[in-house]
Amino acid sequence: MKKAQWQNQGFQWIWALPLFLLGVGCLSTLDLKRPVPLRIDPKDHLPIALLPLSDAEGFPSSGSKIFAIAGTFLQKRGYPLVDSAEVSRRLEPFSGSPLSLFSSPDFARDFAAQVQAKLLLIGSLAEFRLGKASVGPQTEQVWEGGLFGYRMLPTYHWGHSRIRLIFKLVDSETGKTVWMAEGVLQGPAGSFESISKELTEGVLEDLPPIRPGVSPEAK
């Protein structure tokens, strides 16, 4: 009888777990900062060259996924982008991350002229820790039959994620930064796809839509 009760309790936990996991995403926090507020009207400085992001160490394709999300977000807001294949081709002869390369105003001006861009959008994964959640047994004290006892119950173990993303816009004529924003998303472990989308769009939210009929909420 007791064994049957324990099995029923275990099944109840298993059925309740997916509902619990759905609420995990609500516990994450996104902290945004704007070290350099937007100093230009973007629609007067087009097109934009979106530079590829370097992958975070140990996480292949993390940079390319952020790049794809950023490109989609900008296009939905009406921003014409320089062909990404042309940008990559022009970067091939150079070593180092785009963030370090374009810290030189002269390099930024020369590169922008090569790809015929008015603005360069440069991103960087400054911090990347993606936690993993797990479910495992853990001994818990329970009240049963008028007495306290101990049972092995399935327990959700939280993983903790923290990702810091920086984007900046560089003017092609001056080589200077005309906008910069960064965001830190941290909280329970989740899929990188959902975390990166929320973080990337949150950081880029500052850039206004330029296509007629596109609302600021377009994503």
36-51 pLDDT tens trace: 999 999 999 999 999 9
Token code pair at residue 199: 């973080």
128-145 pLDDT tens trace: 988 776 666 666 666 777
**Domain range for 102:** 25-133+160-204
Residues of the chain with pLDDT under 50: 1-25, 213, 215-216, 218-219
Q: How far is CA 182 from CA 54, 102, 104, 149, 163, in A?
A: 16, 17, 20, 50, 10
Note whether residue 35 is domain-resident: yes
Burial class (CB in 10 A: 0-12, 13-18, 19+), 119: buried
Note whether residue 146 is domain-resident: no
Note whether residue 149 is domain-resident: no
Give the pLDDT confidence score for residue 66 in this predicted structure.
96
Note whether residue 76 is domain-resident: yes
Question: Which CB contacts under 8 angstroms, 24+ apart, belong to 94-103?
Answer: 97/54, 97/124, 98/51, 98/52, 98/53, 98/54, 98/122, 98/123, 98/124, 99/54, 99/123, 99/124, 99/166, 102/51, 102/170
* Dist. CA 112–CA 170, nearest whole Å: 9
Contact between 136 and 157 under an 8 Å Cβ cutoff? The reply is yes
Note whether residue 155 is domain-resident: no
Note whether residue 148 is domain-resident: no
Domain count, the chain: 1
Note whether residue 3 is domain-resident: no
The neighbour count for residue 68, using CB atoms within 10 Å, is 15
Give the pLDDT confidence score for residue 95 in this predicted structure.
81
Note whether residue 103 is domain-resident: yes
Token code pair at residue 132: 């993993």
Give the pLDDT confidence score for residue 138 in this predicted structure.
67
Give the pLDDT confidence score for residue 190 in this predicted structure.
66
Give the pLDDT confidence score for residue 11 in this predicted structure.
41
Token code pair at residue 64: 């390319």
Q: What is the CATH number of the domain that holds 175?
A: 3.40.50.10610
Token code pair at residue 215: 């609302």
